[in-house]
Amino acid sequence: MAFAHSFDPTSLREYDIRGIVGKTLHAADAFAIGRTFGSIVAGKDGKTVAVGYDGRLSSPELEAALVEGLKASGMEVLRVGRGPTPMLYYAATTLETDGCIMVTGSHNPPNYNGFKMMLGRKPFFGAQIQHLGKMSAAGEVVAESAGSDRAVDVSHDYVARLISDWDGGDRILNVVWDNGNSSAGEILQRLVGSLPGEHTVLNAEIDGNFPAHHPDPTVAKNLEQLIAAVKEKGADIGIAFDGDADRIGVVDNKGQILWGDQLLVVLGRDVLKSHPGATIIADVKASQVLFDEIDRAGGTPLMWKTGHSLIKAKMAETGSPLAGEMSGHVFFADKWYGFDDALYAAVRVLGIVARMDGPFSDVKDSLPVAVSTPELRFDCEDTRKFKVIEEVAARLEASGAQVAAIDGVRVKTEDGWWLLRASNTQAVLVARCEAFSEEGLDRLKAALVEQLAASGLEAPDFSGENSGH
């Protein structure tokens, strides 16, 4: 029987395929992804695809349909089972599969789900995802054949590998973890059972309803429970995960949040001790403080485009041992495999804290204090958003402004910097400003508003949006 399947166009994102279950994403989509991705793998003379899934209620059904699609394309499917996304990446890397697909809605609400993919050792994203959609709609797949599937348990090897890079010595740390009902679940329990110290795990049970709070550690509200527990128990550090545990959130012993760029300062300083002069990569949304601190520590800071797939590709190109994003993705190529893994990042940061002479809060307390807006998102049609960036860039260039056009426009002034970029995944523009004084921040926001108005756009409401960072 001939195969052809069209996806809801909103589900084909820049970095993955994602949608609302029952509305823009169905089991038939999962089968089609397997059928088409399997055909792509087969076209490269590949045979094996590893598959995993997160703790969402819809994930088992989608995983089963995905596997059937892969088998129909002749694939040998290695079913890693339920667990964190990085455990699947570990399986694909160590078992040397020809591809892998994770069924996960990441940090989205419970009614979302999706698929993250790797082809060989590289992320499968951007134009590749769009091409997969076109192949599926046109029925451009290999002839149907009977593949196979088998369960593969890598969980014990994965935890042992995580533990093998513990370098904190014998100091007894008091650690609070917020699993956030994520798919790390049992893996996290095994990990803390093998680490030295005193460990408390909140919301340990995997629950796709996420009853405690939304599974996104980059939003301060979602860290309130963790912060309270750290203070109550007098803990040295608190660690949180997103829904599939590839993004990390960290708070210090005072309950202060270390945002993604501040965490990268901590990790970067440590990595540079064994890799002096190395390139450390962060996305365009990161604070200037990060780039300055990496430079001060003897590293080579590199600002790059936002997006985990884009960051991974740049790491491979530059030989960077460490990269990170404001979104909480941390990528280690130093001793690790280059993919984003919040569990591994946690082991490394705990080692650093255990080796510190003073409390972890010394790190944040010693960093220059900047005032900034949070990430501001406002609607702009997909057909218009990139054109707006072009218009703003042209005006800034004509005015002689100091502009980095790596991903949108990031404008540096005496006050600090402001950023305007088009989202790769939604019909929105994203803005952020950072300065070293409230007055400077007001001037940056005014400059941003002026540029938006010049392109006929109403500025977002900046009132009450300043925060220390």
Query: Do 30 and 178 belong to one domain?
Result: no
Q: How far apart are CA 279 and CA 452, in angstroms?
A: 34
Query: Do 201 and 118 belong to one domain?
Result: no
Domain-ending residue, one of 99, 131, 153: 153
Amino acid type, 308 = H
Q: Would you say residue 254 lies in a domain? A: yes
Query: Do 177 and 323 belong to one domain?
Result: yes
- With beta carbons less than 8 A apart as the criterion, state whether 364 and 262 touch: yes
Which pLDDT belongs to residue 463?
A: 60
Q: Would you say residue 2 lies in a domain? A: no
- Whole-structure pTM value: 0.94
The C-alpha angle 423, 183, 41, rounded to 5 degrees, equals 65
Print the domain residue range for 86.
9-153
Domain-ending residue, one of 153, 175, 207: 153
Q: Residue 122: which CATH number?
A: 3.40.120.10
**Cα torsion angle, 13, 306, 327, 401, sign:** negative
Q: Would you say residue 359 lies in a domain? A: yes
More confident residue, 105 or 425: 105
**260-318 confidence digits (pLDDT tens):** 999 999 999 999 999 999 999 999 999 999 999 999 999 999 999 998 888 998 999 99
| Total domains present in the chain | 3
Q: How many residues are there in the chain?
A: 469
Burial of 234 (0-12, 13-18, 19+ CB in 10 A): exposed
Burial of 357 (0-12, 13-18, 19+ CB in 10 A): exposed
Query: Do 148 and 182 belong to one domain?
Result: no
**199-251 confidence digits (pLDDT tens):** 999 999 999 999 999 999 989 999 999 999 999 999 999 999 999 999 999 99
Q: Would you say residue 4 lies in a domain? A: no
Query: Do 302 and 204 belong to one domain?
Result: yes
Domain-ending residue, one of 366, 386, 415: 366
Q: Would you say residue 3 lies in a domain? A: no
- With beta carbons less than 8 A apart as the criterion, state whether 67 and 53 touch: no
Q: Where are the alpha helices (DSSP H) in 242-287?
A: 260-274
- With beta carbons less than 8 A apart as the criterion, state whether 48 and 92 touch: no
Q: Would you say residue 268 lies in a domain? A: yes
Encoded tokens for 431 = 């803005």
Question: In this model, does residue 191 exceed pLDDT 70?
Answer: yes
What does residue 172 show for φ and ψ, rounded to 5 degrees? -90, 110
Quote the distance between the C-alpha of residue 305 and its chain's center.
13
**404-419 confidence digits (pLDDT tens):** 999 999 999 999 999 9
Residues 6+ apart with CB under 8 A from 111: 20, 21, 22
Q: Which of 35-44, 116-125, 237-246, 374-383 has the lowest mean pLDDT?
A: 374-383
Q: Would you say residue 1 lies in a domain? A: no
Q: Residue 408: which CATH number?
A: 3.30.310.50
Burial of 112 (0-12, 13-18, 19+ CB in 10 A): buried
What does the mean pLDDT of the chain come to? 95
Question: In this model, does residue 354 exceed pLDDT 80?
Answer: yes
Query: Do 145 and 178 belong to one domain?
Result: no
User: Which one of the listed residues 106, 183, 287, 372 is annotated catalytic?
Assistant: 106
Query: Do 174 and 118 belong to one domain?
Result: no
Nearest to 149 by CA among 45, 55, 34, 57: 34
Q: Would you say residue 305 lies in a domain? A: yes
Active site residue 106: yes
Encoded tokens for 47 = 């045979």
Q: How far apart are CA 238 and CA 260, in angstroms?
A: 14
- With beta carbons less than 8 A apart as the criterion, state whether 377 and 269 touch: no
Query: Do 353 and 396 belong to one domain?
Result: no
